[in-house]
Amino acid sequence: MEWTAMELNPEMLNLLMKSLGVNESWRFVDVVGLESEQLSAVPKPCCSLMLLFPLTQQHETFRKQQADKIAEDSGVYFLKQTASNSCGTIALLHAVANNKGKFAFASGSVLEKFLNETANMSPEDRAKHLENNKTIFDAHNEVASQGQCRPAADKVNFHFITFVNVNGQLYEFDGRVNGPVKHGSTSDESFIMDAAKVCHGFMEREQGEVRFSSVALCQS
């Protein structure tokens, strides 16, 4: 099954959440910038920050140096990415799974069923389970096909990651690495500022690169 590349677009992510049976008490909103003044405009409470960035050689080199920050933590839900272009849905799964108690799910929710089925699986087995879930695959492709941008095959690949506060710790969830990355303590009040600091690191490593964007998952 071939996954369609998805834009980082709040409307599309909200549509995907709805189609997977997540009630609309939390919604994605645009984050227009990562400076303090811009972040202060993001509605509170905010439970996840999602970043879209280009995959470059600098980034790949940085990831190899970061192995010691990978957390072996059974208290978080982590899912490996094994299907190309599925990172948008995987970022959404990480955001919802690690905030599951905050959400209400519709009766028969596909996403709630998936999270329950995979709760005790390894990250690799969760990835296999996702690849075999045609309902989530179809929902992803239906939403992704509505995007305005069509990335060409020879262009830079872009990637989604998610930041979440889990039990007072700031975690970065990237399905391309072997586990969640722990960035230290945070709180509900400081979460978005703390996550933005990590995002600034991504931007500073890519001198001259401006193709970054972010959205936040906030209570509506």
Q: Percent of the chain at pLDDT above 70?
A: 83
- Tell me whether residue 3 is in a domain: no
At 28-86, the pLDDT tens digits run 999 998 899 999 999 999 999 998 877 555 655 556 555 556 667 668 999 999 998 89
Catalytic (active-site) positions: 87, 159
pLDDT grade for 209, boundaries at 50, 70 and 90: low
Q: What is the count of structural domains for the chain?
A: 1
- Tell me whether residue 164 is in a domain: yes
At 133-169, the pLDDT tens digits run 999 999 999 998 886 554 444 454 778 889 999 999 9
pTM of the predicted model, to two decimals? Answer: 0.89
Containing structural domain, residue 130: 8-217
CA distance 24 to 189: 22
Write the CATH number for 190. Answer: 3.40.532.10
- Tell me whether residue 2 is in a domain: no
* Confidence (pLDDT) at 156: 44
**Could you tell me the CA-to-CA distances from 77 to 124, 152, 181 in Å, in that order?**
12, 32, 12
